[in-house]
């Protein structure tokens, strides 16, 4: 049995309140379409070059060719390398001081999804009645949730809910990484916070249940826009399946 990875699509939109799109995404087939590399980066810095830092992440991912026996480490190393390039760019162009980016990356191969992550873009797995956020946001309020200071309800309304405590480009960045199994029919979603700030988990789950990556990706972005489009929004969807 071979694995079909063709049902994948990415959609991005500037939104209605931003002058430019600082989100970037990547969809890269590997090993003659038997594996696929996906990434979403949400740049920050505004005039300081958020789009530049997000593009640096995508450019580094684009160079990845052959999965090794240490895929999680490979992906983390790519983010580390991108972070160094961002810092070097800032040293050369002081006007870019403050730029950085989130990054959520996953490589799907042989029934496994390997991932690395920094920031508050997210990775989700949707399977039948299960819907799971794989990544944990690197934000100030997430730390307060974990130490019991804030409830999730209060965190969602906190004025600093979008303040990152890690991003690609910061010297003290420590990416999270891991792996999980994927089964035929599973939906894997990578997205920027322009989606998750505007669209509920229930709505995201219901949209992924469509089972069509392009329709789901486009519908998710439209839902964020309908809810106000307050930020750049990006959704990359993979529907994992098998064929004989």
DSSP state for residue 47 in the 8-state scheme: G
User: Rounded to whole angstroms, how far apart are CA atoms 98 and 49?
Assistant: 8
Tokens representing 57 are 């992440």
Q: Are 132 and 124 in contact (CB under 8 A)?
A: yes
Global pTM?
0.92
Bridge partner residues of 12 (DSSP): 234
User: Rounded to whole angstroms, how far apart are CA atoms 179 and 234?
Assistant: 22
Q: Closest Cα partner for 134 from 186, 185, 170, 172? A: 186
User: Rounded to whole angstroms, how far apart are CA atoms 44 and 199?
Assistant: 21
Residue with tokens 């989700």: 124
Write out the chain's pLDDT in tens, 244 residues. 334 456 999 999 999 999 899 999 999 999 877 899 999 999 997 667 899 999 999 999 999 998 888 999 999 999 999 999 999 999 999 899 989 999 999 999 999 999 999 999 999 999 998 999 999 999 877 777 777 677 666 666 666 667 788 999 999 899 999 999 999 999 999 999 999 999 999 999 999 999 999 999 999 999 999 999 999 999 999 999 854 3
Question: Considering just the CA atoms, what is the radius of gyration of the chain in Å?
Answer: 17
Helix, strand, or coil here: 104?
A: strand
User: Rounded to whole angstroms, how far apart are CA atoms 35 and 56?
Assistant: 23
* pLDDT for the residue 154: 66
Q: What is the pLDDT of residues 79-125, one digit of tens each?
A: 999 999 999 999 999 899 989 999 999 999 999 999 999 999 999 99
User: Rounded to whole angstroms, how far apart are CA atoms 41 and 86?
Assistant: 13
Helix, strand, or coil here: 169?
A: coil
How far is the first Cα of the chain from the last one, in angstroms, to the nearest whole number? 5
Domains in the chain with CATH codes: 11-183 (3.60.40.10)
Q: Are 182 and 239 in contact (CB under 8 A)?
A: no
């Amino acid at each position: 049995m071979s694995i079909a990875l063709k049902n994948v699509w990415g959609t991005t939109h500037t939104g209605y309140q931003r002058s430019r799109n600082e989100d970037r995404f990547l969809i890269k087939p590997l090993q003659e379409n038997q594996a696929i590399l996906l990434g979403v980066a949400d740049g920050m810095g505004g005039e300081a070059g958020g789009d530049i830092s997000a593009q640096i992440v995508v450019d580094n991912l684009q160079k990845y060719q052959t999965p090794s026996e240490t895929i999680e480490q490979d992906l983390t190393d790519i983010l580390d390398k991108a972070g160094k390039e961002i810092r070097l760019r800032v040293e050369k162009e002081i006007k870019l001081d403050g730029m950085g980016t989130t990054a959520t990356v996953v490589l799907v191969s042989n029934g496994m999804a390997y991932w690395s992550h920094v920031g508050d873009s997210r990775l989700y797995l949707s399977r039948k009645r299960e819907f799971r956020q794989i990544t944990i946001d690197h934000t100030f309020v997430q730390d307060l949730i974990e130490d019991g200071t804030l409830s999730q309800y209060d965190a969602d309304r906190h004025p600093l809910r979008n303040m990152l405590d890690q991003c690609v480009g910061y010297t003290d960045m420590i990416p999270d990484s891991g792996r999980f199994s994927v089964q035929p029919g599973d939906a894997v979603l990578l997205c920027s916070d322009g989606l998750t700030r505007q669209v509920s988990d229930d709505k995201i789950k219901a949209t992924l249940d469509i089972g069509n990556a392009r329709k789901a990706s486009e519908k998710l972005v439209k839902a964020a826009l309908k809810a106000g489009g307050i930020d750049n929004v990006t959704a990359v969807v993979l529907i994992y399946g098998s064929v004989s």
